[in-house]
Amino acid sequence: MKKLILLAALAGLVGLYVFFDVGQYINLAYLKAQQDNLNQFYVEHRLLMVAGYMALYVLMAALSLPGAAIMTLAGGAIFGLGVGLVAVSFASSIGATLAFLVARFLLRDSVEKRFPKQLASINAGVEREGAFYLFTLRLVPIFPFFIINLLMGLTAIRVWTYYWVSQVGMLAATAVYVNAGTQIAQIESLQGIASPTLLLSFALLGIFPLLAKRIVGFLKKRANAPA
């Protein structure tokens, strides 16, 4: 019964998202068109704006709805690097943890009954180095955000571990995207697209996955090195 209630609640929230066509507002064109209005509202109602933004981000992440990248860029465009980084970091981590808990509550028991041996071996690996494995998945964005939440929800990793490792692991990528958002907000003409700061921001977006892989490789070598 509890699972049915949760499923109904989730379906209702997704239905409201679709019915009100919230997705039409989560794109770069709308962000740029409404930038002045959003900035003005933020100046007049800072706490309300940050709280509302974080609530929407958490909801979208928890429901695995598309638009996380745009929301992250929007955080930089509206709040700047400092506030934007804090808001996005906590909202994305909380939303990811909620999605993780939903997957665990709805799916873990049934999957464990159907594939007990396979899940037991996976849980054994998670028990040994689950935090580092999750950190690697978060640092190197190979798999989609919602897939990681779903799959890790089927394992025995602790909720607190999942939260803090996700927040730390996603922090670098979050900073890169938020910084890119601050530069997008400053584009006023075609010349602005070629500004050094904006080009650097997008260069970071491109090289970050490669840099993250090197960091993970270095950490693995350090962990496996003889004492």
pLDDT in tens, 153-181: 988 899 999 999 999 889 888 888 888 88
8-state DSSP, 65: -
Query: Could you tell me what percent of the chain has a pLDDT over 90?
Result: 33
| Residue 30 confidence (pLDDT) | 86
pLDDT in tens, 199-210: 565 556 556 556
Q: Please, which pLDDT band fits residue 141 given cuts at 50, 70 and 90?
A: low
Mean pLDDT of all residues belonging to the chain? 81
The two tokens of residue 192 are 């602005």
Tell whether the model's pLDDT for residue 89 goes beyond 80. Answer: yes
Q: Please state, in angstroms and as integers, the Cα–Cα distance from residue 200 to each residue in 170, 179, 195, 196, 203, following that order.
A: 20, 10, 9, 6, 5
Q: Regarding predicted confidence, which is higher, 129 or 37?
A: 37
Q: Please state, in angstroms and as integers, the Cα–Cα distance from residue 58 to each residue in 62, 63, 128, 156, 223, following that order.
A: 6, 9, 30, 23, 34
- Alpha-carbon torsion angle 37, 42, 43, 45, nearest 10: 120
- With tokens 């075609």, the residue in question is 190
Give the DSSP H or E segment for 226: none
pLDDT in tens, 22-80: 888 888 888 888 888 999 999 999 999 999 999 999 999 999 998 888 899 899 999 99
Tell whether the model's pLDDT for residue 116 goes beyond 70. Answer: yes
